[in-house]
Structure 1
């Protein structure tokens, strides 16, 4: 795919799946064996059902979540980097933590690898300490 099509794929994933909660699109946009490397978790998240569970968990904890993203497709035609600011209100149980009612603002980035018109793999980094402080865990 072209860098522009890769950018559109990743934008759709963020806006329609993460922000809007349209989990039906996960199977269309992600490779069935998708791998998400996320340092907040002890193991990689593998497969679309695991990704759906992660999205549900985050949307339960922050039901008004919004990722404001800047997307940078790589010239190699395979990778897309996105930088984000996540905002939301901690209104539900999340990561085993009872709702605090705190407004959350968190920054991070991800690199996605595109293969066969889907997102095959992602590497995630975020301000974990800042996030935990905002929900009273640090």
Structure 2
């Protein structure tokens, strides 16, 4: 059974190595095959393979380039880890029906991760301040 500290470590690995480092291959170790992402403006992705396809598409010519997540605060209890972060990047492609502005934006977000007993992420819910981001893009 995983501990709260191990779940926090896995969460940091996800942001540091996968999101910021682009190591999509680590998702097989960090997440369950039936992983579900509830992503607000990013949509819902059911199953690890669907999430990997979404992640790869976003990393290769998505709406933003140079994306970087900075973890600001982590709170954890039992099988749940909550993260407050900033997300940033340059709007280089269409986003929510709006053309690219080539403008850099930085906005706040939160994520709630739920873990299995073996310490893998099985579900996440993201909420990001898209209004602030769109205001910055003009």
User: Which of the five TM-score ranges fits, normalised by the shorter chain?
Assistant: 0.7 to 0.9
Alignment pair present for 1:130 and 2:128: no
Higher-strand-fraction structure: 2
Moved over 3 A (4+): 92-98
- Count of residue correspondences: 134
CA distance in 2, matches of 1:54, 1:16: 17
CA distance in 2, matches of 1:95, 1:7: 32
Deviation at 1:63, TM superposition (A): 2.3
Alignment pair present for 1:120 and 2:122: yes
Structure 1 unaligned blocks of 5 or more: none
Partner of 1:101: helix, strand, or coil? coil
1:22-65 Cα offsets, whole Å, 9 max, x none, are: 11111111111101112215x52111122123323433322211
Alignment pair present for 1:50 and 2:50: yes
Structure 2 unaligned blocks of 5 or more: none
Mapped contact 2:72–2:86 kept (Cα < 8 A): no
> What is the root-mean-square deviation of aligned Cα atoms in Å?
1.9
Alignment pair present for 1:69 and 2:71: yes
Over 3 Å counting, the alpha-carbon distance change for 1:23 and 1:113 in structure 2 is same
Over 3 Å counting, the alpha-carbon distance change for 1:133 and 1:54 in structure 2 is farther
Question: Taking structure 2 as the reference length, what is the TM-score of the superposition?
Answer: 0.85
Question: Taking structure 1 as the reference length, what is the TM-score of the superposition?
Answer: 0.85
Over 3 Å counting, the alpha-carbon distance change for 1:84 and 1:98 in structure 2 is same
Tell me the residue number matched to 1:22: 23
Mapped contact 1:109–1:126 kept (Cα < 8 A): yes
Partner of 2:26: helix, strand, or coil? helix
CA distance in 2, matches of 1:9, 1:71: 15
CA distance in 2, matches of 1:100, 1:53: 25
